Structure 1
Amino acid sequence: MTRVCFQLSVSPEHLDEYRRRHAAVWPAMLREIEASGRRNYSLFLRPDGLLIGYYETDSVEASDAYLEASAAAAEWEAHMGDLFDGLDGRADQAATPLEEVFNLGDQLAALGE
């Protein structure tokens, strides 16, 4: 399993709309995220627009390829695109991945606990 964390920037003037759209994500998009192999998917939004996303998957490449080929994902990303700062293309493909530098479970496992 791979843990993925990424960041994007939501335009501060669009924060309320971003929250509103994510309060009821389209059922087809929810199913596509699940079908892509992503689990434990969460988004966190700071008041200045910093967006941090996290998910787990068995294959980042397979998950990305699945969503890249998904018509529902393309439609959702087009629907969301106007809410981001400095976005060129689809948010799911332009997000900046963050390096994982600590995981409690991994370190405890290494200790044999």
Structure 2
Amino acid sequence: MTERIAFQLQIAPAMVDEYVARHTPVWPEMLAEIAASGRRNYSLFLGEGGRLFGYYETDDDEAARTYLAASPVAARWEAAMAEFFVGLVGRADHAATPLVEVFNLHDQLTASGA
């Protein structure tokens, strides 16, 4: 079963432009590691004041987290990105605030038979 994962982080407002620049594009080897971990449909959205919202899908989030935790590429990426986050202890990929899904159109349409 596909897990939908959403999370929130805070980027230092003065560093938003540099954060965006570092994602344009992300290192090819990091993109490959994200895909190899089993994460897909991965997106980041930037809100006002540096509020960052992320979303991805995976069949096994614990396995994806374990894979990335052991990846030297992901460790280098997370170390390079650490300076951007406000109030974060540890790696962003492990310490992001998870969000609870309260609505999904597909799931509700499927359940209703519509």
Give the alignment's TM-score, normalised by structure 2.
Answer: 0.97
Q: For 2:41, give the aligned amino acid.
A: N
Q: Give the match for residue 109 of structure 2.
A: 108
Deviation at 1:24, TM superposition (A): 1.0
Give SS of 2:82's match. Answer: helix
Q: For 1:32, give the aligned amino acid.
A: E
Structural RMSD (CA):
0.6
Q: For 1:86, give the aligned amino acid.
A: G
Point out where structure 1 has 5 or more consecutive residues left out of the alignment: none
Q: For 1:61, give the aligned amino acid.
A: E
Aligned residues: 113
Deviation at 1:47, TM superposition (A): 2.7
Q: Distance in 2 between matches of 1:97 and 1:84?
A: 15
Q: Distance in 2 between matches of 1:27 and 1:94?
A: 23
Counterpart mapping for 1:12-51 below 5 A: 12-51=13-52
2:76 counterpart of 1:75? yes
Deviation at 1:20, TM superposition (A): 0.1
- Write out the 4+ residue segments of structure 1 that deviate beyond 2 Å after TM superposition: none
Give SS of 1:110's match. Answer: helix
Deviation at 1:88, TM superposition (A): 1.1
Deviation at 1:87, TM superposition (A): 1.3
Deviation at 1:12, TM superposition (A): 0.2
Q: Give the match for residue 3 of structure 2.
A: 2
Give SS of 1:4's match. Answer: strand
2:57 counterpart of 1:52? no
* Identity level (%): 62
